[in-house]
Amino acid sequence: MADADDVTLCGQEITASLNAIGLPNNDQAGRILQLNLNKSVLGNTYIEFQTSVKSFGVRPGDIITVTYLKEGFTRQPFRILKIAPGINHRVTTITAQIHDDAWYADSNGQPTSATGGRRQSDASTGVPRPLIGSVVDVNGNLEFGVTEADEINSDGSVQVTVTVSYVPPATSAEAGPGIPFVSLSAAVAPGGTLASGQVLYYAISALDSAGNESRLSFLVTSGIASSGSAVTLTGLSFDSNTAAFNVYRGNSPAELYRIASGQAIAAQFTDPGLPPLTIAPPDPNFDHANFYWRMELLPETAATLYSANTVGNGTLNMMANAYSGMTARITRGPGRDRKRRSGQTRRPR
């Protein structure tokens, strides 16, 4: 939950978690979140003053009114936060915070017509999604477009320049459509090209008539047990501002790729195994990209020796122990992107 006016005024979001447990329903959670947000953004006016024995019987939490024309207060409500009484209440120091009855109304924190009662996006407290590449390799995977250039300097030294291309994620408009709903149970049936032995993650986003894209729906997990399968997402629901929707898929919740764009409003969507597009999902946490590179001793090589806990190649003609401590990375197949140093074993847990 965020205050758009305050974000525009400050130019940034300051995030915080609410330490609350035992909230019985979403309605109450929304009202409590909005109450604390209002108190932190609109309620950051505090007063401290001294009074006499008149403070006797006043307790923290009580509401008082203050008139102070210099600040424009005319019987302005304040809620007492702290009372520091002197001896026999002759002089008592009172600290209070500005108060607004509207913060405690039953309608506070409830969705407006713009959101349509839909799940609200996060406050950008997470880590940015991994960037996706701009080049499709021979295996159908999206990889970064990497080009190298060598330049020989006048002193004979060589300068290497590396250029990396990627697809920046889209930004979601605050005034765009509401986040769509989707059933968390996907139907898997024959009739597609999806391979077995993988778990796929799906999400959808909504588009309005101006092309503004919402943030992603909840993720839908689908396990593919047999090759030649297709996945059908059901229970799709959109708000009144939605004109079309996009579909994303990936092998992990963090790495999703768009597989369908500008789909007409429907109650379900079937993925027969659509190829990934070089389009990233909306990412409210994306700001910039940093790339780090390192030298490789050997190019990518197919594994010829493998078992349940080993992998290798017997044709590289490498000297024994010459590369002890070096890092090997699995680039494709089971265990993709896992890295181990030579001689390192994984302890069972």
Q: Which residue would you say has higher pLDDT here, 93 or 282?
A: 93
- In whole angstroms, what is the distance from residue 57 CA to residue 240 CA? 53
pLDDT at 134: 85
CB 217 within 8 A of CB 233: no
pTM: 0.56
Strand partners, 49: 94
Q: What is the mean pLDDT of residues 146-163?
A: 88
Q: Is pLDDT of 41 > 90?
A: no
Residue corresponding to tokens 């894209």:
213
pLDDT at 63: 93
Task: Tell me phi and psi for residue 169, to 5 degrees.
Answer: -70, 155
Q: Is pLDDT of 87 > 60?
A: yes
How is 136-156 classified by DSSP, letter by letter? Answer: E-TTS-EE-EEEEEEEE-TTS
Give Cα 184 to chain centroid, integer Å.
18
Strand partners, 249: 202, 257
CB 165 within 8 A of CB 145: yes
Q: Is pLDDT of 289 > 80?
A: yes
Strand partners, 164: 146
**By C-alpha distance, which of 336, 301, 282, 275 is closest to 136?**
275
Q: Is pLDDT of 20 > 90?
A: no
Q: Is pLDDT of 207 > 80?
A: yes
Share of the chain above pLDDT 90, in %: 30
Phi-psi region of 191 (alpha: psi -120 to 50; beta: other; left: phi over 0): left
Strand partners, 260: 247
When pLDDT is cut at 50, 70 and 90, the band that residue 112 belongs to is low
Mean pLDDT for the chain overall: 84
**By C-alpha distance, which of 203, 215, 198 is closest to 251?**
198
pLDDT at 325: 81
**DSSP-derived secondary structure letter, 309:** S
Q: What is the mean pLDDT of residues 33-37?
A: 86
**By C-alpha distance, which of 291, 342, 337 is closest to 313?**
342
Radius of gyration from C-alpha coordinates of the chain: 29
* Residues ≥6 apart with Cβ < 8 Å to 97: 39, 43, 45, 46, 78, 79, 81
Q: Is pLDDT of 164 > 60?
A: yes
pLDDT at 15: 77
Q: Where are the beta strands (DSSP E) in 39-102?
A: 46-51, 63-68, 73-85, 92-98
Degrees, nearest 5: CA angle 145-146-152:
150
Other CB atoms within 10 Å distance of the CB of residue 249: 23
Q: Of 6-10, 148-152, 247-251, where does the model show the most confidence? A: 247-251
pLDDT at 98: 93
Q: Is pLDDT of 188 > 90?
A: yes
pLDDT at 162: 87
Local structure of 8: helix, strand or coil: helix
Q: Is pLDDT of 125 > 60?
A: no
Q: What is the mean pLDDT of residues 146-174?
A: 84
pLDDT at 53: 84
**By C-alpha distance, which of 160, 159, 203 is closest to 184?**
203
Give Cα 106 to chain centroid, integer Å.
29
Copy the structure tokens of residue 103: 């913060």
pLDDT at 26: 74
pLDDT at 172: 61
* Residues ≥6 apart with Cβ < 8 Å to 48: 93, 94, 95, 96
pLDDT at 126: 64
Q: What is the mean pLDDT of residues 139-167?
A: 86
Which tens digit of pLDDT belongs to each residue from 241-268? 899 999 999 988 888 989 999 999 999 9
Q: Of 174-183, 237-246, 301-310, where does the model show the most confidence? A: 237-246
